[in-house]
Amino acid sequence: MITFFSDQHGLHAPADEIFRGERVPCFETPSRAEFVRERLQARGHLLRQPDQDSRAVLSQVHSPRYLGFLASAWDQWLALDPANGDRQPFPSVWPVRTLRSDIEPQNFVARLGLYSMDNGSPLVAGTWAAAKAGADAAACAAALLAAGERGVFCATRPPGHHAGADFMGGYCFLNNAAVAAQALRNQGAARVAVLDVDYHHGNGTQSIFYERADVLFVSLHGDPRTEYPFYLGHADETGEGAGAGFNLNLPLPAGSGVAAWFEALKAACRRIARHEAQALVVSLGLDAYAGDPISRFALQAGDFSRLGQRLARLGLPTVFVLEGGYAAAELGVNAVNVIEAFEQD
């Protein structure tokens, strides 16, 4: 399978994050992608660097104000104090509920809060370059599908599915799955489906397409009553306006076993088939793995081969976009199991 891998991913290498109120070493690290690269190369897969500029599609997925902030955030941070080059900025205030978000504050930390859903998505000097390269890969993958490829894998980081139209969160800055889906629509696919199999609900992708009927969003994930992102991902969220009926959430209790997970996958695939999609984007979170340090499902390495086989039976041109998965050493095996089973089925 053609695979895009950007060397720029390593520019985003935050030292630590705020996790459940404590400063801890960052779970989302460059080693995640490196383990995937090593496994791909060991299995004989050829890797390409992304060579398309995603800016035109990004402007359809994210707000101009947010993109402008994200592209310049590190320079703004340094302008406050050159010593900030050795510090990671974190938001400390957010415009919740009755507070206004239409006026951008002058205070940098307040602006950071305006564009953040949490304080667990640290920025560093290379964040924009790494995230932009991931979006470029998603645009490249969509172009290859439009040209006749059956499957393309974007082995990129940071992940993207928690990023909404105008906010970052959950280690995500630009929504690569949404970029791929929108690019496929631009290239003539009348209907696209996005399937998110990450342990954590893809709240950003849901919100971007929630009022649209041309892009179906389906997600199986840990129940948001106990699992991040907490405030979205419930079964009663089915879309609004033109998008009513085109959003399907399949939340599962933390600790659910393999049988329950694959039953949810069966329901997801049935809904995708009814959508009569012309292309599929898979937010390939691999944190349903039993050994993941921040997730609580029970899939083993062989179950990811089973996932790839089931997706292949949908018969759709498919973009796979790497999302979460924090058992870094096992990430490469699990990712390659999916894409090789997809190819071989």
pLDDT tens per residue, range 259-295: 999 999 999 999 999 999 999 999 999 999 999 999 9
> In which domain, by residue range, is 276 found?
2-64+127-344
Distance of CA 318 to the CA centre of its chain: 15
Amino acid at 247: N
322 lies in some domain: yes
Residues 6 or more apart from 7 whose CB is under 8 A from it?
49
Q: Could you tell me the pTM of the whole model?
A: 0.97
Antiparallel, parallel or unpaired: β 47-48 and 2-4:
parallel
Q: What is the pLDDT of residue 18?
A: 86
Q: Residues 6 or more apart from 344 whose CB is under 8 A from it?
A: none
Q: 286-342: per-residue pLDDT in tens? A: 999 999 999 999 999 999 999 999 999 999 999 999 999 999 999 999 999 999 999
- Asked whether residue 334 is assigned to any structural domain, the reply reads yes
**Per-residue pLDDT reduced to its tens digit, 203-262:** 999 999 999 999 999 999 999 999 999 999 999 999 999 999 999 999 999 999 999 999
Contact 324, 32 (CB under 8 A): no
What is the model's pLDDT at position 292? 96
Please state, in angstroms and rounded to a whole number, the distance separating the CA atoms of residues 301 and 312: 18
Cis amide leading into 159 (omega within 30): no
Q: List the catalytic residue out of 162, 201, 221, 275.
A: 162
pLDDT of 11 > 80? The answer is yes
260: in domain: yes
Dihedral sign, Cα of residue 232, residue 323, residue 173, residue 180: negative
d(CA 65, CA 166): 8
Tell me whether the omega of the peptide bond preceding residue 158 falls within 30 degrees of 0, making it cis.
Answer: yes
**Residue 181 pLDDT exceeds 80:** yes
pLDDT value at 345 more than 80: no
Q: Is residue 101, in this structure, part of any structural domain at all? A: no
Q: What are the pLDDT digits (tens) for 61-85?
A: 999 999 999 999 999 999 999 999 9
Residue in 213, 211, 201, 209 with CA at minimum distance from that of residue 180: 209
What value does the mean pLDDT of the chain take?
97
Please give the DSSP secondary-structure letter assigned to residue 233.
-
**What pLDDT sits at residue 207?**
98
pLDDT at 20: 81
- Cα-flanking dihedrals φ and ψ of residue 205, to 5°? -65, -45
Residue 205 included in any domain = yes
138: pLDDT confidence band, cut at 50, 70 and 90?
very high
What is the spatial distance between Cα 23 and Cα 243, in angstroms, rounded to a whole number? 39
Residue 229 in domain: yes
CATH number (domain holding residue 10): 3.40.800.20
Question: Phi and psi (nearest 5°) for 167?
Answer: -155, 155
Instruction: Say how far apart CA 293 and CA 161 lie, in whole Å.
Output: 19
294 is a domain residue: yes
Residue 116 counted as domain residue = no
> How far apart, in Å, do the first and last CA atoms of the chain sit?
13
Q: How confident is the model at residue 45 (pLDDT cuts 50, 70, 90)?
A: very high
- Interatomic CA distance for residues 14 and 30, integer angstroms: 9
**Is position 162 annotated as part of the catalytic site?**
yes
Nearest to 251 by CA among 320, 297, 298, 193: 297
Q: Report the share of the chain in percent with pLDDT over 90.
A: 97
151 pLDDT band, cuts 50/70/90, is very high
- Tally the domains of the chain: 1
